[in-house]
Amino acid sequence: MGLLDDLTAKVADPYDRQARLYPALLALLPLFAVVALLYGPKASALTSIVTIAVSCGGLYLMTNLCRELGKRLEERLFREWGGKPTTQLLRHRDKTIEAVTKRRYHGFLAAKINEVFPSKGEEASDPQGADDVYRSGVRWLLGHTRPDDGKKFDLLFKENIAYGFRRNALGVKPVGLIVSVGSLLWTLAKEDVLASRAGHFVDLQALWRLPETATACVIVATFMIIVWMCFFTRSSVRNAAFTYAEALLRTCDIL
């Protein structure tokens, strides 16, 4: 897969590469496998097309489309979850972070944004106003925890990439499933397993006689279908989102 190596090497920024480009390439992986393994040298035209597309901004388009789909999904997920993870974790009524630690975070952020954080009663009487204060504190925190050369926030950056990767992958999940299923059916039809010339809708004997290249394509497509269905879920994205949110709030003890 030298072509894929060339594509990823062209995206230097680690976040863009891992959180935006990789989900897009995973969605297209079964198609790349079919073209490379089943058509081999005959697929040289694909290399030329990809080269031209990359030269014309194709990679930039892919990463931006992936980001856009992920961000649109993120807005829906936050509504379903009851707000942004960081906002939820700062609420008095949320018990994920123990009260003592939460008071320390509140005190630190209140001093930084020059705003008094709401008490439990004030939060209960005006939840929207309380959330506005929490979001303002998190906005300050985001602005002061960007990756630096000292690797001070290296772990936080990795958690952000993990969340971005899962979120964007879930955003392109419909595309990934269509490509995976289409690649699987394409391979089986090409090898005379589906709608065979013998008149069978599914020829099991032809399935057992698949050449190694076709078998590899079937394995890749089937594996990706399982990954899209079982791993890239709302639950996995939620886990990554709250893990990142907790890591972000823990930087209050570092700054």
User: pLDDT digits over 202-231, tens only?
Assistant: 666 766 778 888 889 999 999 999 999 999
Q: Do residues 52 and 14 share a domain? A: yes
- Structural domains in the chain (count): 2
Q: Do residues 173 and 146 share a domain? A: no
Cβ neighbours for 209, distance < 8 A, ≥ 6 positions apart: none
Domain end point (choices 141, 159, 177) = 159
- Residue 91: pLDDT over 60: yes
- In this prediction, residue 152 carries a pLDDT of 81
The model's pLDDT over 104-151, given as tens digits with 9 standing for 90+, comes to 999 999 999 999 999 999 999 999 999 999 999 999 999 999 876 557
In terms of average pLDDT, the best of 46-55, 60-69, 110-119, 185-194 is 110-119
Q: What's the domain range around 141? A: 85-159
Q: Do residues 71 and 177 share a domain? A: yes
The answer to the question of residue 251 being in a domain is: no
| Residue 206: how many other CB atoms lie within 10 Å | 18
**CA end-to-end span of the chain:** 43
d(CA 126, CA 118): 9
- In this prediction, residue 118 carries a pLDDT of 93
The answer to the question of residue 154 being in a domain is: yes
Q: What is the mean pLDDT of the chain?
A: 86
d(CA 254, CA 130): 24
21-25, 83-87, 171-175, 206-210: least confident range = 206-210
Over residues 238-243, mean pLDDT: 97
- In this prediction, residue 51 carries a pLDDT of 60
- In this prediction, residue 11 carries a pLDDT of 66
In which band, very low, low, confident or very high, does the pLDDT at 242 lie, cut at 50, 70 and 90? very high
Q: Do residues 49 and 167 share a domain? A: yes
Q: Do residues 6 and 77 share a domain? A: yes
The answer to the question of residue 63 being in a domain is: yes
- In this prediction, residue 117 carries a pLDDT of 95
Q: Do residues 155 and 177 share a domain? A: no
| Residue 19: how many other CB atoms lie within 10 Å | 24
Burial class (CB in 10 A: 0-12, 13-18, 19+), 239: middle
Q: Do residues 18 and 134 share a domain? A: no
The answer to the question of residue 255 being in a domain is: no
Q: Do residues 62 and 113 share a domain? A: no
- In this prediction, residue 76 carries a pLDDT of 94
- Residue 56: pLDDT over 60: no
Question: What percent of the chain has a predicted confidence (pLDDT) above 70?
Answer: 82
- Residue 90: pLDDT over 70: yes
